[in-house]
Amino acid sequence: ETLSDEFTSFLDSGIYRLPGIKAVFLDPVRLLNLSYTRYSISASGYYCRTFDSLGKGKRTNIEAGDSYVSKKKKRKRKRRLPEDLNEQELVAEKRHQDVRPFLLKAHESLLGTNELLLFLPNLVKDEKFSFDGRGLEQSFIELGRVWQAPLYEISMNIEGNSKEVQEEGLPNVDSSGRTVAPLFNNLISNKASIDMDAEFLNRTYILPRKSCFHTSDLRQIHDLIPGSSDQGFNLIVIDPPWENGSAYQKAVYPTLPNRYFLYLPIKQLAHTEGALVVLWMTNRTKLRAFVEQELFPAWGVTDIRTYYWLKIKPDGSLLSDLDLIHHKPYEYLLLGYVNKEKIEPHFIQNFQDIQIFISIPGAYSRKPPLGKLLVDHLPGSKPSRCIELFARELVAEWTSWGNEPLCFQDCRYFMER
């Protein structure tokens, strides 16, 4: 059978525009791989803890907390009737009912796209490589807290691209072509146009071309504020460690009370020509009220839109029942602009209201990369300057900040091309 142009372009881009609705399907592994030249991300690594037996499409600990909700509890939740809901839950239920038809339509469109549907199981495995989940990962969060933190150094191998990097003038290159720098509270970059290996405490990390990262606590985020105002960022993606009720999530990374996020210097990070701010949310109603009434006003974010991330299994079915009260197969994010007065009004108006993206969620509740989906909505001159706050991975040409931005750069998640 012949493949459509859309499918052929998806194989390169990782984005499939679904017919008949403003929705796309995303392949996060393909999207991430656009950042790499010498390595590629392993799909079996990306989905390592997502499904226990892919063939059966059986789900285990897909999202933080999920697997810890017992079947018994789930059944109980399903049976709850609208009249049992409290005020908060009613507001949430109303929102859900409003978006439900769009989500269903997007899902139906996917189910009707046979070439893509049949290809889904291939997205979660590698042709040859098989991810070995054994072995401990480095805890950057723990290391960054000890008194020796300022002494830890990362060593970068610039041998393969020394000419290019030397032109850029990277300091302290030794005779073996390596350069060392403090890991914590320091802006580190790979200025070359190819991937670079870095060594930290006997483990290897892959740094994509032209990427930049800063490993530090929230208190140090001010180090990222650009020296001159025209050096700010045009895209600011934020996935905060929101507090939630899940005990499991608390064990994965520390969370912070809402008021801490009021002090994120979003205005100072934003480019004077304007910035798009993208904020990942959780399904708690109180959180939405906080963001709309306090957080966005404090950051100067206006013209708010909502995007939905609908999660599916490799067999194309929804991750869970669409109508469970406390447990939805989707998450949402709020988007808005800073320095709106510098942006042409029609540019902001063109930004569509309901946008849905569908993907198979990765392990450790990783969010799909959204940069490519948003390029056309970024204000200011090109190339756009992009930053991710609370990042756990690096992206070519982006700056990543958080207390563990190297988390998913461990070479165990990569294969050589």
**Interface with ligand SAM by CB under 6 A: which residues?**
141, 217-218, 239, 241, 253-254, 256, 366-367, 390, 392, 402-404
Write down the least CB distance from residue 94 to ligand SAM, Å.
26
Q: Please count the residues of the chain.
A: 417
Write down the least CB distance from residue 167 to ligand SAM, Å.
33
Nearer to ligand SAM, 195 or 388 (CB): 388
Write down the least CB distance from residue 381 to ligand SAM, Å.
27
Write down the least CB distance from residue 405 to ligand SAM, Å.
8
Nearer to ligand SAM, 239 or 274 (CB): 239
Write down the least CB distance from residue 233 to ligand SAM, Å.
16
Question: Residue 311 contacts by C-beta under 8 Å, 6 or more apart in sequence?
Answer: 62, 63, 318, 319, 329, 330, 331, 358, 359, 360, 361
Partner residues linked to 277 by β-bridges: 236, 336
Partner residues linked to 173 by β-bridges: 179
Q: How far apart are CA 16 and CA 35, in angstroms?
A: 19
Nearer to ligand SAM, 4 or 246 (CB): 246
> Cβ atoms within 10 A of the Cβ of 320, count?
18
Write down the least CB distance from residue 5 to ligand SAM, Å.
31
Nearer to ligand SAM, 24 or 279 (CB): 279
Nearer to ligand SAM, 103 or 237 (CB): 237
C-alpha R_g of the chain: 22
Strand stretches in 94-253, DSSP E: 153-157, 178-182, 187-190, 196-200, 203-207, 211-215, 235-238
Q: How far apart are CA 103 and CA 99, in angstroms?
A: 6
Write down the least CB distance from residue 257 to ligand SAM, Å.
11
CB 182 within 8 A of CB 211: no
Nearer to ligand SAM, 158 or 387 (CB): 387
Write down the least CB distance from residue 346 to ligand SAM, Å.
31
Nearer to ligand SAM, 6 or 410 (CB): 410
Handedness of CA 239, 245, 250, 252 (dihedral sign): negative
Q: How far apart are CA 31 and CA 26, in angstroms?
A: 8
Among residues 402, 408, 398, which one has the least CA distance to residue 235? 398
CB 159 within 8 A of CB 176: yes
Nearer to ligand SAM, 241 or 371 (CB): 241
Provide the token pair at 112: 């009707």
Residue 347, H or E segment: helix 345-349
